[in-house]
Structure 1
Amino acid sequence: MSLEKRSSISDHGFLEKGEAEKPRVVTSDDKYRFDAHDLDRVQRRLKQRHIQMIAIAGTIGTGLFLGSGSALQGAGPAGALIAYLLIGSVAYATLCSISELTTWAPISGTFPHFATRWVDPALGFAVGWNYFYTNAITIPTEISAATVLLTFWDRDTNHAAIYTAVMCVCICAINIFGVRWFGESEFVFAIIKLILIIALLLSGLIVDLGGGPNGERIGFRFWNHPGAFNRAGLVTNLNTDRFLAWLGVLVQAGFSFQGMELVAIAASETENPRRNITKAVRRVFWRIIIFYVLGIIMIGMLVAYNDEALLRDTGTAAQSPFVIAMDRAGVKIFPHFINACIFTSAFSSGNSFLFSASRVLYGLSLRGQAPKYLTYCTKKGLPLAAVLTASAFAFLSFMSVSNGAATVFHWLVSLTTVGGFLGWFAINLTYARFYAGLNEQGIDPNSNAYHSSLQPYLSYWGIFWTILLILTNGFEVFFEWDVAEFLTSYISIPIFVTLFVIYKVSKRSKFWRASEMDFYTGIPTLEETESPLIPPRNFLEKVAGVIF
């Protein structure tokens, strides 16, 4: 069944060739608020170039610029490369799953609502509140990280509170002014990230081949000495210890890729969401290969995993393996340029997390799983109540400035450790059930605007690895027991389960059978979301079409 046919059929079913009309979709229960179409007041103000660059920004961040150094030090160049390749495949599988769900239903609430709609309302409630908290508490974390980056130039700790206040106000203002401001800011930040990573890859290649000021050719010498794999230092067996080192980096690499789902969260406020998200997700695979994989290969060539500079946890560009490599080669101007770009990356992350937290909270409210006042929107389609509520979390960043509150702040941050992985797990599980529902009701998955031929196997791949990441996060604590470390690593799991059970028992929600799933109620048709495609009129528009 094509999307064109989908747009003209009844919300309660469709006609098979040669059959009389009969219902194929069960009418939804009012208490689950599936038909929120008339309540959803956000407006589609993000353009194609915004959503394309947001897709890029979601794959590049401080995890690549700074965290890649820890990955290299932890598992060695080959271990880090294998870890990033594997996690890149999991991230891509998750993005394919959520993009297919989103192009079917480009509405507010995104994957928590999809979990409510096609798995169990209790799962939607648990994953929605978990994802809201994970994003909301990460806002002050990114602001604190950006403040630390400024110490690269200003080491006066008395200025930290001023910098924190300025960034809090700026991030909140961008989101309060509206989605167009958010889109434009992320567009600019994404361009800066692109310029930085391309410059790093090219300059790294030049230095590696001997084109630096000192003229030294490096090649792959560090893969031979000190070696391609590092040890974790947890057990005496060489191969087992190397595997444990790789496993630790696997979890760390996962954090570097989190946030890719932002492109789907923004779908309800995107022009032509089905067309633009389809275009964006089809390009993400190559961006992962070019930026992350080539980036990891490059730093493994430039810096040895036992380099002392990798062990310095400064939080600034000084710990970036790219900066370390440029210092070794005699290039002195790069650290300032890189630190400035990483600062914009941290600011962009805080900006994006605030957007995500507010939209998930708004979606929960639309479906009656959060206070009703959070559905309030301005005339321009801004969910102001949800944005203000999420913005309040930004000011928790002042806790990191105060010595007394810093411990509490870091404990709160640690609760988000596996929050992103729980979100990925829910996305892939929801897609697997969504796919089963389509098949059960005789709906062709290829009728969707976007469909990967590798589904549903991509979702199964994502489910397996996200469960493994959730369970192995913090596994080092079992080799050297620490109660506090154990709690901070695994407390998110019982919190998630508790949210699920509380909603399940109090609301007596049901697990949706494939034959009962509702694929149409409250979902806008193709004609409602997509405008006719206008072909490029000149050379510049053709170039823009290729880039964006």
Structure 2
Amino acid sequence: MENEYEKDHQHVEEPYINGSKEANNYTDDMEGGLEMPERTLQRQLKNRHIAMISIGGVIGTGLFLGTANSLKNGGPLGLLLGYAIMGSIVFAVMNCLGEMISFLPVPGGHIKLAERLVDPALGFAMGWNYWYNWVIVLPAELSAAAVLIGYWTNGSINNAVWITLCLIVVVTINMFGARAYGEAEFWFASIKILTIVGLIILGIIIAAGGGPSHVATGVQYWKNPGPFVQYEGIPGALGQFLGFFSVLINAAFSYIGTEIVAIAAGEAANPRKNIPKAIKKVYIRICLFYILGTFIIGLLVSSADPRLGSSAGAGTAASSPFVIAIEDAGIPVLPSIINACLLTSAWSAASSDLYTSSRALFGLSVSGSAPKIFRKVNRFGLPYLALALSVAFSLLAYMAVSKNAWVVFNYFGNMTSICGLITWCGIAITYLRFHSGMTKQNIDRTTLPYRSPLGAFGGWYVLVSLCIILFFSGWEVFLAGHWDTSTFITTYLPIPFAFILYFGYKLVKRTKIIPVQDIDFVTGVREFDDEVDEEPPTTVLGKFFNAL
């Protein structure tokens, strides 16, 4: 049966292959004289893969390690509020994205949606911004994995060895295509889930005095040193607000990556059923993992603890608030186990970085915004040349071996967090146009595979909130005695650069913003209508993961 939006828009559809008109390029078959469709991505990711990719994007090392500085700067209440408020923004981002990508699960994800629903120039700017983000984060994650291994080796073995081993693991996973990536991410994310759930349960036990030391921390750290921290000793409400705001910015960086599921949608089986399932459970993950997790952290460790943010053990389990609490409770061995879990998290992140950057480059190529050579796909559905270029950038991880070179690399790496927030702004802009187009063309949103409960408000909430955060993201350099030119540049340079990409492309290609009444909501839509859902999980563990 045709959907209402198809009845009202009887356009002649162009043939689609796997959800992408641009991917439907034809080449001459020299032997048969027939035109055969060029290979494109294959829908190999199942429901459980999509679910775990979505969860893996939410749970990062920021929850395990990044919360240390956040607790130190903001206090237990500042920590909780910062992650809760940013969690609400992420919830809105994912609902905006979920409504669009469930309707049009095309290769390139939100990059392609921006081109189709707003302006090709926006797709160009978002695409290259997104590719840069993940292709630079990739070597940083490989270096982080090497540092985590150093927790056991104490630097006795050169980090280049560990970087090489981690790189081999990550490249091998991605060389076998989307299914191998999805399978690896399923198990990596499973480890992360079990780790954080276990830490939350253990944290509750320790806070109640159930640890070997039998010291019940309760809410004592909320009373002394207090719920907030006077940031940099600044007195009064201003100091407390600045501490909270520093947490808010750190939390934003911790959540970056939740949108990866949109890129995976281009290779998802049954995307109109599986993507909404993943999106609907985002709030559960945010509440369970981040809000509950940060609340427990505030019970376990004092914001005045000198081990928070200490350079000793930085980047390893030793700097985690959970590990600090475990050590104080007198529980041996667990820190090493947590470090091992963090190592798998770093592998997971690096694997996702490589997958995302290669698919982003493929999407750019399909749209004509990158050289055509990167749209080449082998018979297994792998964009091997896009993957190869992304792998080449991963070699930047070896700069970590040289301190001077790593300082230079960090200048580029520091910009990736801002690039992630710019991506979310682009998603919000795209959704607002999507919503306006639906309204203008009298399309009932209740007919969509997934409808955001926030509607246009969600898009505006994301856009306004992130614009404020982006504008003030480098506020610390303006404090007396804190000016740092490199920090200022790396914090704010991505913002004008995004505008340069957008307006530069418009100037060269003479593109125009698509009028809302002309947005195409028909082409390629029918391909995803006749889908068969997968069998639900039957094992206890499968049902547990499916519920998250």
Q: The TM-score by the shorter chain falls in which range?
A: over 0.9
Deviation at 1:444, TM superposition (A): 1.1
Q: Which of 478, 485, 505 lines up with 2:487 in the alignment?
A: 485
What are the superposed Cα offsets for residues 485-543 of structure 1, whole Å, 9 maximum, x if unpaired? 21011111121111111101000100111111111224452346x22x36659777994
| AA in 1 matched with 2:372 | K
Q: Deviations over 1:125-157 (max 9, x none)?
A: 111100100010000011111111111100125
After superposition, give the CA deviation of every residue in 1:247-301 in whole Å (9 maximum; x if it has no partner): 1111100011110111121011111011001111111111110111111000100
- Identify which range, 75-84 or 486-495, moves more after superposition: 486-495
Specify whether residues 149 and 543 from structure 1 end up closer, same or farther in structure 2 by C-alpha distance, changes over 3 A only: closer
Q: Does 1:224 align with 2:223?
A: yes
Tell me, yes or no, if the aligned pair for 2:203 and 2:296 is still in contact at 8 Å: yes
Partner of 1:151: 150
- CA–CA distance in 2 between the matches of 1:222 and 1:253? 21
Distance 1:543 1:339, change over 3 A: closer
| CA deviations over 1:173-196 (Å, ceiling 9, x no partner) | 211111111011101101101110
Q: Give the letter for the 1:508 counterpart.
A: R
Letter in 1 for 2:388: L
- State how far apart, in whole Å, the 2-side matches of 1:34 and 1:54 are: 22
Task: Show CA shifts across 1:5-28 (max 9, x none).
Answer: 13994xxxx34xxxxxxx677999
Residue number in structure 1 paired with 2:513:
511
1:328–1:62 CA distance, 2 compared to 1 (3 A): same
Aligned length: 527
The corresponding residue for 1:362 is: 362
- Distance of 1:395 and 1:69 partners within structure 2: 29
State, as a whole percentage, how many aligned pairs show the same letter: 38
Structure 2: how far apart are the matches of 1:345 and 1:125? 31
* Aligned residue identity for 1:6: N
Across the aligned residues of Structure 1 and Structure 2, the Cα RMSD in angstroms comes to: 2.2
Q: Kindly tell me: are residues 542 and 130 of structure 1, through their superposed partners in 2, closer, same or farther at Cα, counting changes over 3 Å?
A: closer
8 Å CA contact retained: 1:417, 1:492 = no
Query: 1:311, CA displacement in angstroms?
Result: 2.8
Partner of 2:36: none
| Post-superposition CA distance 1:318-352 (Å, at most 9, x none) | 01000000111111221001110011111111110
The corresponding residue for 2:297 is 299
Amino acid corresponding to residue 400 of structure 1 in structure 2: A
Name 2:2's counterpart in structure 1: 5
The equivalent residue for 1:212 is 211
For 1:224-262, what per-residue CA distance to the aligned partner results, in whole angstroms no more than 9, with x for missing partners?
A: 00000002227x441011111111111100011110111
Distance 2:526 2:497 in 1: 34
1:210-229 deviation per Cα after TM superposition (whole angstroms, max 9, x unaligned): 11111111100000000000
- 2:121 and 2:502 in contact (8 A); partners too: yes
Deviation at 1:159, TM superposition (A): 2.2
> Structure 1 residue 188 and structure 2 residue 190: aligned?
no
Partner residue of 1:257? 255
1:268 maps to 266
Secondary structure in 2 aligned to 1:85? Answer: helix
SS at match of 1:210: coil
Are the structure 2 counterparts of residues 228 and 269 from structure 1 closer, same or farther at C-alpha, using a change threshold of 3 Å? same
Among 474, 479, 503, the residue aligned to 1:501: 503
Gaps of 5+ in 2: 26-38
Q: Distance in 1 between matches of 2:116 and 2:347?
A: 34
Residue in 2 that maps onto 1:436: 436
CA shift in 2, pair 1:538/1:56, >3 Å: closer
Deviation at 1:112, TM superposition (A): 1.3
| Alignment correspondent of 2:200 | 201
Contact kept in structure 1, 2:429 and 2:463, CA below 8 Å: yes
Amino acid in the other structure paired with 2:362: Y
TM-score by length of 2: 0.92
Q: Residue type of the partner of 1:200? A: L
CA contact under 8 A between 2:133 and 2:419: conserved in structure 1?
Answer: yes
Q: Residue in 2 aligned with 1:141?
A: 140
Query: 2:388 corresponds to which residue?
Result: 388
Deviation at 1:481, TM superposition (A): 2.4
Map of 1:303-318 to 2, 5 A cutoff?
303-313=301-311, 314-318=314-318
Structure 1 residues 537, 48: CA separation in 2 closer, same or farther (over 3 Å shift)? closer
Question: 1:337 maps to which residue?
Answer: 337
Of residues 280, 287, 299, the one that matches 2:285 is: 287
Contact 2:13 2:522 in 1 (8 A): no
Post-superposition CA distance 1:37-75 (Å, at most 9, x none): 524710011111111111111111100000011111110
Partner residue of 2:397? 397
CA distance in 2, matches of 1:25, 1:395: 48
Aligned to 1:120: 119
Residues 407 and 524 (structure 1), Cα distance of their counterparts in 2 relative to 1, 3 Å cut: farther
Residue 319 of structure 2 corresponds to: 319
Residue 307 of structure 2 aligns to a residue in which SS? helix
In structure 2, do the counterparts of structure 1 residues 318 and 106 end up closer, same or farther at CA, with 3 Å as the change threshold? same
Cα distance 1:539–1:213, how it changes in 2: closer, same or farther (>3 A)?
closer
Q: Which amino acid aligns with 1:193?
A: K
